């Protein structure tokens, strides 16, 4: 069994989280520059078997696609073209950044650490992945 890899895609940064090989536990992996995501994924997949990509699907409170989908849809299409053997699933990511920030507060991180946007993106990807695992 391969891993499930979650992606919190943004214009500047991409948060990445993965499961263990049993697909039970979501772990934050890293945050990469959006321009480097293709190289990162190619390199990661060369080393680790990935069964699915879970991509955050930003929605409004009215359950409609948010503006961010204008750049996420082309990314998802590119992902499907580059890795056709790996299923891509979109998961509602409403409030993940706010929950990630609150998680940092609850963990006792200081103000300077909470301003680390890369950490917020990684935690958000982990929350997206955990949401998928809970639904599964």
Question: Residue 119's pLDDT is what?
Answer: 77
Greater confidence, 93 or 104?
93
pLDDT tens sequence across 30-45: 999 999 999 999 999 9
- Least Cα distance to 31 among 116, 129, 132, 133 occurs for 116
Place of tokens 């929350």: 127
Question: Residue 114's pLDDT is what?
Answer: 65
pLDDT tens sequence across 65-88: 778 888 999 999 999 999 999 999
pTM: 0.86
Contact yes or no for 72/59 (Cβ under 8 A): no
CA distance 60 to 121: 19
H helix runs in the chain, sequence order: 37-47, 69-82, 96-106, 111-114, 117-135
In order of their start, the domains of the chain are: 3-135 (3.30.420.140)
């Amino acid at each position: 069994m391969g891993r499930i890899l979650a992606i919190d895609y943004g214009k500047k940064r991409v948060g990445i989280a993965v499961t263990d090989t049993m697909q039970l536990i979501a772990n934050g992996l890293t945050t990469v520059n959006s321009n480097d995501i293709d190289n990162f994924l190619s390199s990661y997949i060369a080393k680790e078997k990935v069964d699915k990509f879970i991509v955050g699907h930003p929605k409004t409170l009215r359950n409609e696609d948010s503006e961010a989908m204008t750049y996420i849809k082309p990314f998802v299409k590119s992902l499907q073209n580059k890795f056709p053997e790996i299923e891509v699933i979109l998961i509602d990511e409403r409030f993940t950044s706010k929950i990630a920030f609150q998680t940092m507060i609850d963990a006792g991180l200081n103000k300077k650490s909470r301003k680390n946007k890369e950490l917020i993106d990684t935690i958000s990807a982990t929350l997206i992945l955990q949401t998928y695992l809970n639904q599964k």
